[in-house]
Structure 1
Amino acid sequence: MRVTLLGTGDTTGTPTVGCDCDTCSLARERGISRTRFSVHVENERTGESLLVDVSPDFRTQMLRQGVSLPDAAIVTHIHFDHLDGLGNVYRTIDDLAVYAANETDPETGESVAETVERRYDYLARRLEIHHETPGEPFRAAGFDVTLVPVSHPPLLCYGLRIEEPPVDGDGDPAVLAITGDTSYDIPQASREALSDADLLLADAIVPASSCVHHPIGGNHHDENGVPHTFGTKHMTREGALQLAEELNADRIRLVHVAHFYPADEAFEEPLAVDGERYDL
């Protein structure tokens, strides 16, 4: 399994358009980019590839990293920075299997899969939408994939467990876990599903110190009063690191990173940047 981090930024990316903060300025000086979130997972056994979330920066990401066009894609939730690149399928990909949850969201009255079908009905001849039940594994691009419910109010959102099917004599199969956009308040059953991964990609939008700038501050504080959630929707860096420890992840990369990190912290380990690759 070869994992390429196509996009490691939040909804505005870093550098952010029109922003001259110290972090965005430093990113420009160093030629560092964090585009909107997306991950490419290559199945070296079958020659297929899987795209996790379809970023609005799809074209730039695919050309820059030189990865293969996906055979399948997964949409974790319906926020534009994880979905709106799907229009790039037009005249680019003739046949794409798209997997999404079949659970009806009380906020929208439809499931993620139904929203994808409705928004991209003009691509009906190119997209094959698969309605999947959260918590039940399915096969995509030769991988065993499970949609894992997380906490990203007010919408339903899902993390992922992606693993290679076991092959006799090959030892333990490689496992990639992705938290998806989430607060620290991940259900226990979902924590178990995300545990013991070779690589964990965890939402860590800002450092805990930035919670003072959020209108409602931080949530899910530890015993020292450090918030593990920024507002209600995303984990802080400290929350993501604590989660990685609890989940026994072999390796951790922090993603969905905003430009609100102080410049002297914004590109320190284990914060990811676009283009990183991992062979699991």
Structure 2
Amino acid sequence: MRVTLLGTGDTTGTPTVGCDCDTCARARELGVERSRFSVHVENTRTGECLLVDLSPDFRQQFLTHDVSLPDEAVVTHIHFDHLDGLGNAYRVFDDLPVHAASEVDPVTGESVADTIRRKYDYLDRITVEDHAPFERFSACGFECTLVPVDHPPLVCYGLAVEDPETGAKLSLTGDTSYGVPDESRTVLSDPDLLLADAIVPASLCEYHPLGGKHENEAGVPRTFGSKHMTREGALDLARELGARETRLVHTAHFYPADEAFEEPLAVDGEQYDL
């Protein structure tokens, strides 16, 4: 299993368009980028490729990084920075199966799968395949499981991707607070690589209207506001899940410049063989 991080940023990415903050300036100096979130997973046994989330930066990501176009895709939730790259399927794919959850969201009145069908009904080259949470399904020779996480007000899912032949395992938290349900944590546990949402350091919670929550024993918030983990929360979750390696993703340009490019914060283009 070869994992390539195509997009490691939040909804605006780093550098952010029109921003001259110290962190965006430092990213330009270093020549690194955190585009909108997307992960490429190649099955090195079969040559098939799975894409987790379809970034609006899809075109540039695939022009920039030496990876093959996906054979199948998984969508974790319907926010534009994870879904709207699907429009790139137009005249690019002959057929692209897209896997998504079948659970109806009480806020939207439809499932992630149904939202994709409605929004992209003009794309006759994609087929949407529904899966219940915790239901194992096959994609590109991998065994995959979507699990509910906590990203109010919408439903959102983490994902476990396992190679049934080699035992390699990739876990993605999806966009989530630290309040990941216990049953979901069990599915995500013991990964060779964990990609964990860590939008900002806990020190920035004082600037959020909702502050922080899910404090640890030292009083450090593990959730920023209500939707995303802090860096400290993501690292605590990684330890609890027993991750062998952890990369922090979906990070914002609000990280102080002297912290924004420290380990284990990821940048686009990183590649891992599991």
Deviations 1:208-230 (A, max 9, x none): 00111101100111111100000
Gaps of 5+ in 2: none
What amino acid is the match of 2:135?
E
**Alignment partner for residue 168 of structure 2, among 163, 174, 191?**
174
1:184 aligns with 2:178: yes
Taking the aligned partners of 1:136 and 1:85, their CA distance within structure 2 comes to 25
1:274 is aligned to 268
2:248 is aligned to 254
What amino acid is the match of 2:147?
V
Q: TM-score, normalised by structure 1?
A: 0.97
1:232 aligns with 2:231: no
1:129 is aligned to 128
Taking the aligned partners of 2:26 and 2:46, their CA distance within structure 1 comes to 40
After superposing on structure 2, the runs of 4+ consecutive aligned residues of structure 1 that deviate more than 6 Å are: none
2:200 is aligned to 206
What is the SS of the residue equivalent to 1:122? coil
1:23 is aligned to 23
What is the SS of the residue equivalent to 1:263? coil
1:162 is aligned to 161
Deviations 1:50-104 (A, max 9, x none): 0000000000001100210000000000000000000000011110000000000
Deviation of 1:278 (Å): 0.2
Taking the aligned partners of 1:22 and 1:44, their CA distance within structure 2 comes to 39
What amino acid is the match of 1:111?
S
What amino acid is the match of 1:61?
Q
2:102 is aligned to 102
2:74 is aligned to 74
1:138 is aligned to 137
What is the SS of the residue equivalent to 2:222? strand
- Where does 1:50-89 land on structure 2 (aligned, <5 Å)? 50-89=50-89
Taking the aligned partners of 1:110 and 1:182, their CA distance within structure 2 comes to 20
Taking the aligned partners of 1:19 and 1:229, their CA distance within structure 2 comes to 25
- Where does 1:214-229 land on structure 2 (aligned, <5 Å)? 214-229=208-223
Taking the aligned partners of 2:180 and 2:4, their CA distance within structure 1 comes to 25
2:119 is aligned to 119
What is the SS of the residue equivalent to 2:196? strand
Deviation of 1:234 (Å): 0.1
Deviation of 1:130 (Å): 0.1
Gaps of 5+ in 1: none
State the superposition RMSD in angstroms: 0.6
Taking the aligned partners of 1:164 and 1:196, their CA distance within structure 2 comes to 14
1:14 aligns with 2:14: yes
Deviation of 1:255 (Å): 0.2
What is the SS of the residue equivalent to 2:110? coil
Deviation of 1:249 (Å): 0.3
Taking the aligned partners of 1:79 and 1:262, their CA distance within structure 2 comes to 26
What amino acid is the match of 1:129?
V
1:33 aligns with 2:27: no
Taking the aligned partners of 1:221 and 1:92, their CA distance within structure 2 comes to 46
Taking the aligned partners of 1:246 and 1:18, their CA distance within structure 2 comes to 38
Deviations 1:112-142 (A, max 9, x none): 000000000000x200100111101000111
2:147 is aligned to 148
What is the SS of the residue equivalent to 1:3? strand
What is the SS of the residue equivalent to 1:130? strand
What amino acid is the match of 1:134?
P
Taking the aligned partners of 1:254 and 1:277, their CA distance within structure 2 comes to 14
Aligned length: 274
